[in-house]
Structure 1
């Protein structure tokens, strides 16, 4: 479904991504794991058209999207939930969700998707008229995910969905990620909690210093000594 070949991204003189290649098959949950500053978020932003690669190519469902605009990439079926959630604080929950469907014209189907999102996240239904800035961190994460799903993505990109959340809320969020995947959406997940991510993923890539250090079946990597020592607390 998605293929990155030899991606190199720079921030001025800083070489942030160094020749990364990876692929995601339809229906998978794939996770990128690495320490802070390893290049995970930059990789996601490059897929979404928010950063540009100097070399290589990015293809999605056989189409070259290397130079596509961020809005064009959304219209092709990729939605990105950024680190830190980035909800619109002075707009209501409902208005935030409506913005997720800004490229769509199918009003009847949009209405169905509202019901679907409220089914996945009942708390958003309870708070639909509430300003997004007054929600708890967990509710804002649910809203950011719901907003991304309103564009009906084929590929959902999640950057650190558990960041700053209480363990019980994190468990809920991860159960919902699995549910979203089972309903037909492919997921690319960046997550500091490597143990949680590897437990729900099909495959994983380990990134260090802007390069892929290791890749493989997620369950096998859970048992890998190097991964255990570096990311799973030994």
Structure 2
């Protein structure tokens, strides 16, 4: 069953049409990867779902409710959580404060405590650095903190924007293993990622964005073998 349905989404930046009426869906329990080159409209897609930018037309239905015109803060309350590109952690707050900020919409204290422990299981380094200022963490640790903060909101759907950007290869592997684990624990994921091979390797289905349009889609196992996809995105 679709937890997210995006229909005919159009977004303009001035005279530039960034999204040209795209439609796709995400089923409960899936990892969906949205891949494409720089400027294809991947981040714009996530921003328009979260209502961080204005849509010209189209609709977004989340968990059976039309959220097209809801404010970003209302969307967070519904359980659709966006971990943005570039991490956007609170650099001057401690790791603990950042994680607690993730749970600001909640008041189920016992469950928040359990979720904090779950974040420490996924990201043991966060527990070690609990009192440290977030701005002093390494790039990989900041990415882990951003994802941990997102999980503290108890998401039904997690939007991840370029989680591996700027990370060393060994950390990229670690981040993707954790994304898989988050999904296995029951969180549906919509993943935007430059590293097409990694994104496809953990996804159920893939949508390819080219200059604001979805050019193809399918099961990741089929797409990863597609010669055109290989040539364009997998360097083969």
Q: TM-score range by the shorter chain?
A: over 0.9
1:16 to partner: Cα distance? 0.5
- Among candidates 180, 195, 198, match of residue 200 of structure 2: 198
Counterpart position of 1:38: 40
Aligned Cα root-mean-square deviation (Å): 0.6
Unaligned runs of 5+ in 1: none
- Among candidates 152, 158, 161, match of residue 159 of structure 1: 161
Counterpart position of 1:147: 149
- Among candidates 119, 122, 129, match of residue 131 of structure 2: 129
For 1:11 and 1:169, how far apart are their aligned partners in 2?
A: 34
Counterpart position of 1:118: 120
Q: What does 1:180-191 correspond to in 2, within 5 Å? A: 180-191=182-193
For 1:52 and 1:60, how far apart are their aligned partners in 2?
A: 17
1:72 to partner: Cα distance? 0.7
Counterpart position of 1:9: 11
Q: Deviations over 1:161-191 (max 9, x none)?
A: 0000011111111000000000000000011
In the alignment, does 2:194 pair up with 1:210?
no
Q: Which runs of 4+ in 1 moved over 2 A?
A: none
Counterpart position of 1:58: 60
Q: The residue matched to 2:180 in structure 1 has which SS?
A: helix
For 2:95 and 2:202, how far apart are their aligned partners in 1?
A: 28
On the 8 A contact 1:52/1:67 being kept in 2, the answer is no
Unaligned runs of 5+ in 2: none
